[in-house]
C-alpha cells in the first residue's frame, strides 16, 4: 500500500468534489498518471490526516511522498512540476498575476455566494441571488470576447471555475432563477467553448445546466443528486 514515502503521484479525493475535480482536470491536461484514492469524509484515512494536518480536507496531491494541499495551489504545483505540456498559467508575470486574481475571485466570491444561495431563505436569499448574478456578470466581463479566460487556451481560471458550474442547476432549482437568462453571453461563450473544445461529447447536467467536460467525470448518472450531496457535505463541514 502506497504511503507518504512512495514514489509517484497519488490524489486523495472525493469523487464529486469540485476542488478535487480541479486537480483531476489539471492532471488530465498534463497527461500525468496517478493513483486516485477515494476518501470517506466521514471517516478520514490516516494518510489524509497525516498529509493535510491543518485543514484535514481533500484534495491532497502526494508527489514522491510530498503532500500538496488546497486545490488552486495543487493546480499551480501541477503546472510547475510538469511544465512541458499544456501550460495552465501564462508565462508573462502580469498575466500570471491576473489569472491568480480571477481564480482567487472564483474561490472567494462564487463559492461563498453559492453557499448563501443554498442556506438563506426569503429576502436574504433574494439578495444572495442578486449577488451571485453580479459575480457571474463580473466573470462575464473578464471573459469578454475571449474563448477562455486566458485567451485561446483552456487554463487556470477555467479549471478553477468549470467544476463549480456543475452545481448551477442545483442553484437554479433551489433559488429559482436562470443563469442562462441572467448572463446569456457568458452562457453562450464560456460554456460553448468548454463544450466544443474540452469535450467532444457535451456533458449536460439535468435540464439546462452548464456543461462539464465529460471526460473528467466518472458517470453522468444522477449527477444532480450527487452534486447536491457533495454541496451539502462541503457546506456542512466548512461552516
Residues forming the site for ligand GSH (CB under 6 A): 14, 17, 19, 41, 56-59, 70-72, 234, 237-238
Which stretches of 146-207 are DSSP H helices? 156-165, 168-175, 179-182, 184-186, 192-193
CB of 201 to ligand GSH, least distance (A): 26
Residue 5 or 43 with smaller CB distance to ligand GSH: 43
CB of 72 to ligand GSH, least distance (A): 6
Q: Residue 9: which of 86, 81, 87 has the closest Cα?
A: 81
Residue 58 or 157 with smaller CB distance to ligand GSH: 58
Tell me whether strands 60-63 and 35-38 are parallel, antiparallel or unpaired: unpaired
Residue 81 or 137 with smaller CB distance to ligand GSH: 81
Residue 25 or 133 with smaller CB distance to ligand GSH: 25
CA dihedral 71, 77, 78, 80 (to 10 degrees): 150
CB of 86 to ligand GSH, least distance (A): 21
CB of 146 to ligand GSH, least distance (A): 24
Sign of CA dihedral 237, 217, 120, 132: positive
C-alpha grid cell, residue 75: 493546480
Q: E strands within the chain?
A: 9-13, 35-38, 60-63, 66-69
CB of 13 to ligand GSH, least distance (A): 9
Residue 163 or 189 with smaller CB distance to ligand GSH: 163
CB 189 within 8 A of CB 152: no
Amino acid at each position: 500500500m502506497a504511503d507518504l514515502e512512495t514514489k509517484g503521484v497519488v490524489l486523495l479525493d472525493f469523487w464529486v468534489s469540485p476542488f478535487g475535480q480541479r486537480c483531476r482536470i489539471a492532471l488530465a491536461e498534463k497527461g500525468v498518471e496517478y493513483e486516485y484514492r477515494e476518501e470517506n469524509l466521514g471517516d478520514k484515512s490516516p494518510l489524509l490526516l497525516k498529509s493535510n494536518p491543518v485543514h484535514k480536507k481533500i484534495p491532497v496531491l502526494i508527489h514522491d511522498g510530498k503532500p500538496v494541499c488546497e486545490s488552486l495551489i495543487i493546480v499551480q504545483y501541477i503546472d510547475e512540476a510538469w511544465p512541458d505540456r499544456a501550460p495552465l498559467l501564462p508565462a508573462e508575470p502580469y498575466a500570471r498575476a491576473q489569472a491568480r486574481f480571477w481564480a482567487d475571485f472564483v474561490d472567494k466570491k462564487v463559492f461563498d455566494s453559492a453557499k448563501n444561495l443554498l442556506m438563506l431563505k426569503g429576502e436574504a436569499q433574494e439578495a444572495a441571488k442578486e449577488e451571485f448574478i453580479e459575480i457571474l456578470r463580473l466573470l462575464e466581463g473578464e471573459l469578454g470576447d475571449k474563448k477562455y479566460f486566458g485567451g485561446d487556451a483552456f487554463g487556470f481560471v477555467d479549471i478553477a471555475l468549470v467544476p463549480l458550474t456543475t452545481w448551477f442547476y442545483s442553484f437554479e432549482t433551489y433559488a429559482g432563477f436562470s443563469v442562462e437568462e441572467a448572463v446569456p453571453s457568458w452562457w453562450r461563450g464560456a460554456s460553448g467553448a468548454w463544450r466544443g473544445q474540452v469535450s467532444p461529447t457535451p456533458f449536460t447536467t439535468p435540464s439546462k445546466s452548464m456543461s462539464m467536460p465529460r471526460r473528467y467525470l466518472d458517470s453522468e448518472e444522477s449527477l444532480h443528486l450527487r452534486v447536491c450531496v457533495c454541496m451539502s457535505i462541503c457546506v456542512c463541514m466548512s461552516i
